[in-house]
Amino acid sequence: MLTRTVRGVLAGMVLSLVVAVPSIADVTAAAQTTDLSWHEYGSGAAARRYLLYRPPQLAAGSPVVMWLHGCWFRGTDPSDADRERDAMATGFPALAAAQGFAVVFPQQPRSANSDECWNWFDPVQQWCERGEVATLAGMVSEAVDELRADPKRVYLAGHSAGGAMTAVLGAVHPERFAALGISAGFPAVTGLDSLGTIAGSRMIERGVRSLPVTVVTGSADPVSPPWVQGLVAGEWRSAGLAASAGRVDILAAVAAAIVPPTPDSVDTYPAGDGEYARTVSHYDIDGRIGVDHWVFGKMGHEYPAATMTPALWRFFTASGASR
Residues 26-61: pLDDT tens digits?
444 456 667 899 999 999 989 999 999 999 999 999
What span, in angstroms and rounded, lies between the C-alpha atoms of 271 and 273? Answer: 7
pTM of the model: 0.89
pLDDT at site 30: 55
Q: Which residues pair with 179 in a beta bridge?
A: 155
- The CB-based long-range contact list for 42-47 (8 Å cut-off, 24+ gap) reads 42/130, 42/135, 42/138, 42/139, 44/130, 45/112, 45/130, 46/130, 46/131, 46/132, 46/134, 46/135, 47/135
> Using CA of residue 218, residue 221, residue 224, residue 229, what is the dihedral sign?
positive
Average pLDDT (5-24) is 35
Q: What is the pLDDT of residues 248-303, one digit of tens each?
A: 999 999 999 999 999 999 999 999 888 999 999 999 998 899 999 999 999 999 99
In contact, 179 and 66? CB cutoff 8 Å = no
The residues, ordered by sequence, that sit 6+ positions from 39 with a Cβ below 8 Å of its Cβ are: 49, 50, 51, 52, 143
| Mean pLDDT across the chain | 89
3-state helix, strand, coil in the chain (%, to 5): 40, 20, 40
Percentage of the chain lying above the pLDDT 70 cut? 89
pLDDT at site 322: 77
Q: What is the pLDDT of residues 153-210, one digit of tens each?
A: 999 999 999 999 999 999 999 999 999 999 999 999 888 899 999 999 999 999 999 9
pLDDT at site 31: 62
> Distances from the Cα of 63 to the Cαs of 107, 216, 246, in angstroms?
21, 22, 28
Q: Which residues pair with 52 in a beta bridge?
A: 37, 104
pLDDT at site 13: 28
pLDDT at site 63: 98
pLDDT at site 33: 67
For the cut 70, the answer to whether the pLDDT of residue 213 exceeds it is yes
Band of residue 76 on the pLDDT scale cut at 50, 70, 90: confident
Q: Which residues pair with 53 in a beta bridge?
A: 36, 103
